[in-house]
Structure 1
Amino acid sequence: MSRDVAIRRITAEETVPLRHAVLWPDHPVSHVLLPEDASGYHYGAFLSSATTPVAVISVFYDPLPVHPSPDAPSDTSAKAARFRKFACDPNHQGRGIGTMLLKHVFDTAAAEMGCCVIWCDARMSAAGWYERRGMRKFGDIFYKGDIEYVRMMRELVATES
């Protein structure tokens, strides 16, 4: 699959159609726009001949939230990255594309952004998927609308490119 997929940096605007269609299709498009989009790093996974991404993700510098639960990270001062609005076209899920894009973001956050940890607010329905990719839950379950979420994180190790 990796020969058929290219991951590249894209604009925040290029993430919006897929963010909206996959994550919040029953809300207005404005629901998937983030105030910090202008300061983020946005990536898309493209099939070899496509001009629109089949998966998108946005990454920001964002410190780990301080959380009183016992499973929260002990060092909340480490330079951290947070990914948001990670979406893969349902027609292309289960092919490793999302995993490739997430690994790219892990590597980029460590090597280019200088971060020691990465985290996200994950839908509970996707938590197992993230755990299989080296992330772990921390903090309490919470809701965005009627969707159940949990915070997840992973320590990062800088890799040689």
Structure 2
Amino acid sequence: MTCVIQQIPVEQTLSLRREVLWPDMPLEKVKLPEDSDGWHFGAFLQDVEEPVAVISLFRDALGPVPAVPEPGDSATGSTTARFRKFACKISHQGRGIGTALLDYTLKFARTELGAQTVWCDARTSTSEWYEKRGLFALWRYILQGSRGVPPYEDRFQHF
């Protein structure tokens, strides 16, 4: 499916972030304190005013890794970027739109921000999707969920 990817204001990401990632949360809860410092992108279909997929990108150092990484496996000392709040309308998943948006974002991080490493935290239910696109899990951790249920999350890295 053909889509156009463009930079958008953060406000244009919020409703889709909420719809896909936290449908039970108020809109205010999907905002990030660092949103004003990031780059936000949307994937648009022809003749559709609102994005069908969104992602936000930030300059952000890779946090501490629980195990000692092998030389060359860590982003320590390199320029790093982190993508967050990646959401694609459920009705448009499986059509290549999310993949196109992620590819665009990874390229932007490298060419425009000079990032040598790009990383994210992702729900384990999406692990296979990220691995198919060249990212690999650094580790798994438990994050307290919004409903009191601790979902597992994986931290992914892309060189």
User: TM-score, normalised on structure 1?
Assistant: 0.91
RMSD, matched Cα: 1.3
Q: In 1, distance between residues paired with 2:140 and 2:130?
A: 16
Distance 2:63 2:13 in 1: 25
Once the two structures are TM-superposed, the CA of residue 143 in structure 1 deviates from its matched residue by 1.4
User: Deviations for 1:111-154, whole angstroms, at most 9, x for unmatched residues?
Assistant: 01100010000100001100000000013322141322110010
Ranges of 4+ aligned residues in structure 1 off by more than 4 Å: none
Q: TM-score, normalised by structure 2?
A: 0.92
Residue 65 of structure 1 contacts residue 76 of structure 1 at CA under 8 Å; is this kept in 2?
no
Q: What is the aligned residue count?
A: 153
State the secondary structure of the residue aligned to 1:35: coil
- Separation (CA, whole Å) in 1 of partners of 2:17 and 2:61: 23
**1:153 maps to which residue?**
157
Residue by residue, what CA displacement relative to the aligned partner does 1:44-73 show, whole Å, maximum 9, x if unpaired? 000011110000000000011121324584
Alignment of 1:29-44 (within 5 A): 29-44=27-42
User: What pairs with 1:94-109 in structure 2 (closer than 5 Å)?
Assistant: 94-109=94-109
Residue by residue, what CA displacement relative to the aligned partner does 1:26-85 show, whole Å, maximum 9, x if unpaired? 111122100000010000000011110000000000011121324584342210000000
Contact 2:140 2:152 in 1 (8 A): no
Alignment match of 1:50 (pick from 48, 55, 70): 48
Partners of 1:77 and 1:41 in 2: how far apart? 22
- Does the 8 A contact of 1:66 with 1:76 survive in 2? no
Q: Within 2, Cα distance between the matches of 1:41 and 1:50?
A: 21
9-18 vs 28-37, greater mean Cα deviation: 28-37
For 1:60 and 1:144, the matched residues in 2 are separated by 23
| Candidates 5, 12, 15, aligned match of 1:14 | 12
| Structure 1 residue 14: Cα displacement | 0.3
Please give the alpha-carbon distance, in whole angstroms, between the structure 2 residues aligned to 1:118 and 1:144.
Answer: 24
Q: Which residue of 2 aligns with 1:127?
A: 127
Unaligned ranges ≥5, structure 1? 156-161
Answer whether contact 1:42 1:56 (CA < 8 A) is retained: yes
Partner of 1:143: 143
Contact preservation (8 Å) 1:78, 1:117: yes
